[in-house]
Amino acid sequence: MYRFPLWKHLLVLAVLVVAVLFALPNAFGEDPALQLSRDDRAAMDDASQQRVLGILSAAAIPVAASHIEEDRLVIRLPLVDQQLKARDAILDASGSDYLVALTNAPRTPAWLRNLGFRPMSLGLDLRGGVYFMYEVDVQGAVRQLLDRLDRDYRTLLRDQRIPYTNIAVDGNTLRVVLRQESDVPAAIKAMQGQDTTLTVSRDAGATEPTILVQLTPDQVKLRQDFAIQQNITTMRNRVNELGVSEPIVARQGVDRIVIQLPGVQDPNEAIRVLGATATLEFRLVDEVNDPYEAERTKRAPLGTKLYQRREGGPVLLKRDIIASGDQLTDASSAFVDGQPAVSVQLDSAAGANMLKTTTENLGKPMAVVYIEKKRLLEGERCTGQRVASECTEEEVISVATIRGVFSSSFQITGLLSSEASELALLLRAGSLATPQYIVEQRTVGPSLGQDNVNAGFLAMVIGMALTFAFMIVYYTGFGVIACLVLVSNVVLLVAAMSMMQASLSLPGIAGIVLTIGMAADANVLIYERIREELRIGNSPHAAINAGFDKAFSAIADSNVTTLIAGIVLFAFGTGPIKGFAVTLIIGIATSLFTAILGSRSLIDLIWGRRRKLASLPV
């Protein structure tokens, strides 16, 4: 008699129990909600939660539930109208203390949430929001590098007293034309010492003494990748200003950046924030004159300029710029002597100026000025200098004392750990490394997103119903087992996506429907094998055993070939194609488990343990 091992029954049971727990949060649905974070980047606490709830209570706005998730406060409301009223009430009462994002929050019970179980996230086509695709000018990034080398070499040759007639950019090459042939060896040596990674050589085909500075293909690619990564960092920093829940900022292809902002329905606001340009300046602080007097009289002394500190209060800075953001090559937060600091890297020209400045100004304060230019929307105020619809805002984000002589590499100290991380981000993301342009923009409304959810769910229900009907009519009792296996397969698939926090999109729903068909196909192969074994005269127990064993190779072959296609789609696809591939790959794994182990376990429990079995309902 055929017997299925006990440990396999227990394995199937354990997997199903865990899957039900992970999939359960998806069954409770969602409510319109607000997601609040503090503008000073500190974590939300119970006091902040009670303050916000008090504001809503005073405005007579009902709250379904609220909880603190990581460093944010999530407030669920019964209706969308109440969601909008709650947002306005909080902003009016608290000013700029909080960043408030409109979102949807799951109605997951607290005990499930405390155990770490969360529903799978929904893609932009199901939730609604704004989608942008930017094309980055990667060749412009290479051009910027060559322009910087142009400036550096002009300064170098003047310092070395080597006369030249012209320096020009030609593709990925810099051509330096000297006046005298005898100066070529000295110029090559000096230029190689400036940057040893560049290829510096004599142009033998030129009629004049010419030196070529060439970028290798690897250097070009490195520069392009750096520009895209810095632009991505900048965009992520700006997305945070929108207070968007679960934004996506990712690279796509060679030179494009995709930004998805779920819940945002005003693309103009997003374009304004994402399209803003920013830079940095390092200046010395004027310690002689009184900044409060300059603020009172609205007149800065000669050679100075009045700024406002980010934390509040005026400060006078000297007009001479030590270094600017376009001369910044890198910045990162670190610890120096156990204290939080920001490590800054400047290019050679800015480094030389910084060396001279710090040598002459030991013990004096130096400030970092953050400058942002943005296009104003109609009716929007400008707190800085306005020219037509363009607004330039400047503020001092850091003032630190010069403790030692440094040049291109130095640290900014006197900050808290969180402030150091934020300042490093501002330094890295203060400006775009190279221009970028919108090549695609679309808005998905919340009602359309819900329509997509309903349509996708309806398609899945119809597909499952038709599959169930066929399996029950054609395979009778075994068809019922197949239907239970298909339901468990969907539960496993939803659980896996919830556990991985994979984003479900419309193509993902198509992948789920396809997975149902593939899981049914595996059961069909097994049941047909069992019927063949019965037709040739084998006993029911032997037919069950042979049916599963002989069908396994065909099931494995068909699923492996589909898995290869899914992996290729995931590796080379983008956006919706990748979402479909993720669902397909997970579905293959779950369908194999349910068809081979789950189905076999159920059949064994119902028919496999009967000693006398005359026939099978297949």
Average pLDDT, the chain: 80
20 Cβ contact partners less than 8 Å away, ≥ 6 residues apart: 491, 495
Encode pLDDT of 344-377 as tens digits.
Answer: 788 888 888 888 888 888 888 888 887 766 656 5
Decide if pLDDT at 22 tops 60: yes
Beta-bridge partner residues of 371: 279, 394
Decide if pLDDT at 515 tops 80: yes
Task: Give the residue, 372 or 598, on which the prediction is more confident.
Answer: 598
- Residues 607, 6 contacting (CB under 8 angstroms): no
Indicate the pLDDT class of residue 547, thresholds 50, 70 and 90.
confident
Q: What region does 116 belong to: left with phi over 0, alpha with psi -120 to 50, or beta?
A: left
Encode pLDDT of 275-295 as tens digits.
Answer: 655 567 888 999 888 888 888
Per DSSP bridges, beta strands 314-324 and 304-308 are: antiparallel
CB atoms inside a 10 Å sphere around CB 608: 19
168 Cβ contact partners less than 8 Å away, ≥ 6 residues apart: 174, 175, 177
**Helical packing angle, 417-429 and 217-242, nearest 10°:** 120
DSSP notation for 3-31:
---HHHHHHHHHHHHHHHHHHGGGGS-EE
567: helix, strand or coil:
helix
- Residues 372, 277 contacting (CB under 8 angstroms): yes
Residue 291, CA distances (Å) to 114, 300, 309 in order:
52, 8, 11
pLDDT, average across residues 396-411: 80
Q: Token pair for residue 329?
A: 């090559």
| Of 607, 262, 297, residue with least CA distance to 446 | 262
DSSP state of 332: E
User: Both ends of the chain: CA-CA distance in Å?
Assistant: 19
Beta-bridge partner residues of 277: 373
- Please give the pLDDT value at position 416: 61
The Cα–Cα gap between 201 and 192 comes to 9
Q: Token pair for residue 145?
A: 């590098």
Indicate the pLDDT class of residue 1, thresholds 50, 70 and 90.
very low
pLDDT, average across residues 438-452: 72
Indicate the pLDDT class of residue 317, thresholds 50, 70 and 90.
very high
- Residues 318, 400 contacting (CB under 8 angstroms): no
The Cα–Cα gap between 482 and 46 comes to 50
Q: Token pair for residue 124?
A: 């932009």
Alpha helices in 501-598 (DSSP H): 506-535, 540-572, 576-592
Q: Phi/psi at 262 (nearest 5 deg)?
A: -65, 135
- Residue 396, CB-side half-sphere exposure with 13 Å CA sphere: 23
- Please give the pLDDT value at position 17: 92
Alpha helices in 291-416 (DSSP H): 291-297, 348-360
Taken in order of first residue, the domains within the chain and their CATH numbers are 6-24+445-608 (1.20.1640.10), 29-107 (3.30.70.260), 129-275 (no CATH), 278-431 (3.30.1360.200)
469: helix, strand or coil:
helix
Indicate the pLDDT class of residue 415, thresholds 50, 70 and 90.
low
The Cα–Cα gap between 142 and 172 comes to 7
The Cα–Cα gap between 515 and 563 comes to 12
Q: Which helix (H) or strand (E) holds 268?
A: helix 267-274
- Residue 112, CB-side half-sphere exposure with 13 Å CA sphere: 19
Token pair 């926090």 is at which residue? Answer: 501
Q: Token pair for residue 238?
A: 């700006």
- Please give the pLDDT value at position 316: 92
- Residues 261, 242 contacting (CB under 8 angstroms): yes
| Of 613, 589, 468, 611, residue with least CA distance to 530 | 613
The 3-state secondary structure of 83-131, one letter per residue? HHHHHHHHHHHHCCCEEEEEEEEECCCHHHHHCCCCCCEECHHHHCEEE
pLDDT, average across residues 572-580: 76
Indicate the pLDDT class of residue 121, thresholds 50, 70 and 90.
confident
- Please give the pLDDT value at position 259: 86
Q: Which helix (H) or strand (E) holds 151?
A: helix 138-159
Decide if pLDDT at 564 tops 80: yes
Q: Token pair for residue 537?
A: 């005269």
| Of 37, 550, 546, residue with least CA distance to 244 | 37
pLDDT, average across residues 582-586: 88
Q: Token pair for residue 172?
A: 């990925």
Indicate the pLDDT class of residue 268, thresholds 50, 70 and 90.
low
Share of the chain above pLDDT 70, in %: 85
pLDDT, average across residues 439-464: 76
Q: Token pair for residue 505?
A: 């999109």
349 Cβ contact partners less than 8 Å away, ≥ 6 residues apart: 148, 151, 152, 155, 327
| Of 388, 351, 348, 393, residue with least CA distance to 369 | 393
The Cα–Cα gap between 575 and 507 comes to 10
Encode pLDDT of 157-203 as tens digits.
Answer: 888 888 888 888 877 788 888 888 888 888 888 888 877 777 888 88
Q: Which amino acid is at 90?
A: I
Encode pLDDT of 41-59 as tens digits.
Answer: 677 888 888 988 898 998 8
Q: Token pair for residue 325?
A: 């953001």
Per DSSP bridges, beta strands 210-214 and 173-178 are: antiparallel
- Please give the pLDDT value at position 352: 87
Beta strand spans in 203-270 (E): 210-214, 248-252, 256-262
Indicate the pLDDT class of residue 230, thresholds 50, 70 and 90.
confident
